[in-house]
Structure 1
């Protein structure tokens, strides 16, 4: 198993590198935003943001392993994950309002403090302390993916008066380096926990100085900015819900996101016990493989859109690939005949599907969701997403009538079938809207 992991890692690394060169060459003439002041501003944003991302990625490979190392049952570990998911969705609905009211810089600093405390709780073997740590971790994740980006967008437009067309330049670079950081973080965590035998808690300890450095840079180098201080959470949520209910396309987009990403959340929990069954592979290297597969999927999306393939078709293709992956896992996780190697290959397929899914879903959301209410609508999408993940983990890992890992993949397959049905329905609506628009144009002529 270890040899398979390392060989796959080398192969995927070469593929990702070659694809990246291809994309860079094809897009070379389209690069914008080379203004020295803009580049300097980007670097001021990237340094603390990348430190925060690296600290977050370091914790991915060994979270389940740490809880297992402390002697907790799989059902107890499932509850810990559920606490993190629940905290993320509950706190996530208010992060934007808090950032607007109290300042985005303050929330970025708050993130580094709260996440550092979450990492420190991993030193404890107390189940109660670890639950608190997971709740703090869920809150921190919500801050990481809202406060930093909100601060940057405001400074970019309001303080520096850079063109809004330059925003994608920064986000594209951030996405690329986020993938690189994830791969490196997996290798570093494996070096600490595996090769140096410092234990599964060591990546969490290393994350603390990275978070401290990020918070220090933000506090000293960044300016504070605010949004609409009078924004009310209740009003924002009601407006977002009203838009969803009144639009079938928004409902279908939300359903696809909730169904697909709930499977992804369940995968975050389940991959370690499936692969760590007998062979005990280097989890950090496995994690790096997953991150490379996401990058490959993202590069494949760029190639396909460059060749005029519609993002909607790519999205449906991603769901189909993910469905094939979970169906394979149903067979590879049968009791007394588990096949971790087959599951590993299926997991690689699932991560490639994720790499295709995220940019295509992001494109469709930008096309359909109104900008003024996008945040509140997205918060509503996250509610069923986290509920599905939490219910799946709690029910299927309940000691009273636990059905096993195989039944988790059966449930994931069912969710993806529903997601695919929503995707086909969305395609028909999209086609009908385009046909209606053409008819109106012809009649007007």
Structure 2
């Protein structure tokens, strides 16, 4: 493989790992919300009894408020930061030497990455820490560099910092952060020592232990794992565009007290070693395509065997098992989409030239496309059939999945032009995966 192809494959592998981590985190967050909702509804004498659905409304409203706020194109105002560039217009502070230096690096990086410099706001935070961050959505995207990093970093290091932050915006990392924050707003009330005491008083000791484990251990650990993959992706993105050496140089002097195995960022030494592997185009970091397809076929066989078990050993009629197989199709379709769309942003990298489809590759491509379309259709049918399920909760989930799955083609197309629809498309995939697992599990346990 060519060096560029290996590096792009590394990015795709990281994006796939990140999506799987996000899926696990989403399942844990939704499960915790569901536990809170059931506890509220079941607690007799509790002043919110019967209002358990309120947690979902709060999460939904907060999601919209965060999305609207982060998409705002208004000029940011803060006593702790100064705006250098906003919507392509240089601020009055742009005459300062630090601002001129930052603008020079910003112009170089956006040109090399092929990004529109007028779609971002550039800021300096008046803090001596060696740090930077990316925030905002759509036209409200902002890159903020700390004064400490600006003063201590060389020009090459400064460019690498900006390239790293642009990696976050290209991968649309903040979009999932909004989902995580909105779902976690109610959960945070049950976290910490005070939350443990409140839950103990209201719902009992073991409920307090369960919620403490979820909110203080499980959720933070999964969230930080996903965050570390995100940071590794951004490092790789900057590296394949030629900013690896500068990023390595900057990381050498970085404080590592808040980094490491349980932190939100990998240890600087780990990041430096990873960057070197990307520079060397280490093929050992790529998940093999043949292996992924083998796993996909193995999942098909496992679902078929489970269906056969239900018919021949549980003595169910073939007609009653059909929805199970369709739910399996929904799972396979969503799983395939999760894996195949990871790294779809590669088209923005402009590194690999478009190659014509070879005749020998046409037939396999058509086969996989036809298989995917069949699985997509089976997912729609499965959702429709499960809406008549005896479980009211499962029927409602299936209805949500059906509506979301029908809108999938639209959100997928619009996702290329708007972050909101791109996030909606990813959420649909997560919903389909979770719903299909619930549908199949309902044949073995009572839900």
Q: TM-score, normalised by structure 1?
A: 0.32
Higher strand share: 2
Indicate the structure whose relative CO is greater, using CA pairs within 8 Å and at least 6 residues apart.
1
Q: TM-score, normalised by structure 2?
A: 0.31
- Structure number with larger C-alpha Rg: 2
Higher helix share: 1
